[in-house]
Amino acid sequence: MAGIVIGALVGASLGAGALYGYQTVRRSQAKSQIDKDLANAKTKASDIVLKAKDEALKIENERRREWQKTENRLADREKTLDNKLEELDRRSEKLRAHEDEIDDLKNEIRQIRTRQQEKLEKIAGLKKKDAAEKLMQMTERDIRDDLTKLVAKLQHEAMDDAEERAQTILLTAMERMSSEVTAERTVTAVKLTDDEMKGRIIGKEGRNIQALQRATGVDILVDDTPGMVVLSSFDPIRRQVARLSLEMLMKDGRIHPARIEEVVAKAQKQIDKEVKQAGEDAMREAGVVGIPKEMLRLLGELKFRTSYGQNVLKHSTEMAQMAGMIAEEIGADVRISKIATLLHDSGKAVTHKIEGKHHHIAAELARKYGMDERIAHAIEAHHDDIEATTPEALVVRVVDAASAARPGARNISAENFAERMRDLENVATSFEGIDKAYAISAGREVRVIVKPEKIDDLSAIKLSRDIATKIESTMQYPGTIKVNVIRETRAVEFAK
């Protein structure tokens, strides 16, 4: 057993020795390999350093060459600048010499001009200021005629352009608008359902017809015309109430005084509603807002009013749309123009209640209900008795003439229209001293040209009044007619 242990120890010792020897050999081999790697690394590092030095040397040489070139260019520029400075110095010397020469010449010219002025004043016997004033007077006298002609020419050209532009605006507005016209009347015919209805409308001892006339204020004419009853009244609203009442009574069949009063009250409410609706529709059609309800009611009443063949409400709405187009073209206030035009004839709804001309009445009502003064003025000035002082008032006046005075718009035939124009001209030419007479603006104005050697200024004023008086006494016409007497003196000379 002991032998085995000893053998194991000896084996272990030999193994340990062998292992130590092997490790020693491996370490020496690794060390020699490391030394070789270090030597190689040092060699490579030296090569890299040498290459870097070579590159740095090349870069430095390249930079030195660039710096040398830059220095050479700077030297050349410096030399060029020195040459330019020397050239500028030489030019400055020359300029100073020239300035001295110019100053000498200026002084010499002043002396010469002074001596010449003294000689001229001595010869003319006038000082410089006096001579200048006299020269200006002569020049002004020479060119005054030329300037006058030039101004007249420019004025005529401006008037021609303005007239052409105005015609274009009016024609454009008129050709885009048209309205229906109706025959003027103060009576309304109501068709009966049968001939027996006449007796029922009259009633026993005429009590029904009397009650109807008393409730409506309308004359009811029952004549021999079969199937018709005629309502007559100067108030179109009353006629409409009576017409509607009669139709409701005939439809209901109960006709007696108590029923008549009840039906008339219903008809009045319905007509009031139609009047209000007509005013609102007209305002909406014209494209405006802000009209007081009192003025809207007057406007709506025009639905049942005709004037010289035109329905007044349709005439007003047509005019309002034309006024908007024209106001837009000339730069006037479109809203003011439209509202004033829409309401310009609203006074006709109350002319049977209030005395005065319809345009004055309408303007006062507009002021009463708090409307803009520009609107009131435009309404009041749409006829010739008040001067139009605003563009909007002129627009209302123009569209009123365009809408109401054109041939056919007021149910006047072309032949009657032409005859009235001839009568106007004949009335004017019937006076002594008249050269020519023209009826213009669809008969709203007659323009009379007199002979200046026979009619002086005071006589022209009297002549216009006499012609207007004769027109009033001998002719029938709608609206007003302006008599415009023109006395013109011309001086003509020919250059040969």
pLDDT tens-place string over residues 297-343: 888 888 877 776 677 888 888 888 888 888 888 888 888 888 888 88
Contact 172, 325 (CB under 8 A): yes
| Tens of pLDDT, residue by residue, the chain (496 residues) | 666 767 677 667 666 666 776 777 777 777 778 878 788 888 888 888 888 888 888 898 888 888 998 888 898 888 888 888 888 888 888 888 888 888 888 888 888 888 877 776 676 666 667 767 776 777 777 777 777 777 777 777 766 666 666 666 655 655 555 444 444 455 677 788 777 787 888 888 788 888 887 777 777 877 766 778 888 776 678 788 888 888 888 888 888 888 888 888 888 888 888 888 888 888 888 888 888 888 888 888 888 777 766 778 888 888 888 888 888 888 888 888 888 888 888 888 876 667 778 888 888 888 988 888 998 888 888 887 788 888 888 888 888 877 755 555 555 554 566 677 778 888 888 888 888 787 776 677 788 888 888 888 888 888 888 998 988 888 877 778 888 888 877 676 778 7
Q: DSSP code of 188? A: E
- Mean per-residue pLDDT over the chain, rounded: 79
Cα-Cα-Cα-Cα torsion 286, 392, 398, 167, nearest 10 degrees, comes to -100
Which residues, at least 6 apart from 100, have a Cβ–Cβ distance to it below 8 Å? Answer: none
> Which amino acid, one-letter code, is at 101?
E
Handedness of CA 315, 321, 326, 327 (dihedral sign): positive
d(CA 360, CA 110): 77
Query: Which element (helix H / strand E) includes 212?
Result: helix 207-216
128 bridge partner residues: none
Q: Mapping DSSP to helix (H, G, I), strand (E, B) and coil, where does residue 354 land?
A: coil
> Residue 413 corresponds to which tokens in the numbers above?
């035939």
Which residues, at least 6 apart from 361, have a Cβ–Cβ distance to it below 8 Å? Answer: 347, 350, 351, 354
The string of DSSP codes covering 139-159 is HHHHHHHHHHHHHHHHHHHHH
Q: Mapping DSSP to helix (H, G, I), strand (E, B) and coil, where does residue 442 land?
A: helix
Contact 255, 201 (CB under 8 A): yes
d(CA 422, CA 42): 134
> Residue 42 corresponds to which tokens in the numbers above?
């040092």
CA nearest to 364, candidates 348, 341, 340, 347 = 347
Residues of the chain with pLDDT > 90, as a percent, come to: 0
d(CA 393, CA 379): 7
What's the half-sphere exposure (Cβ side, CA atoms, 13 Å) at 82?
A: 6
Domains of the chain plus CATH, in order, are 188-410 (no CATH), 412-495 (3.30.70.1350)
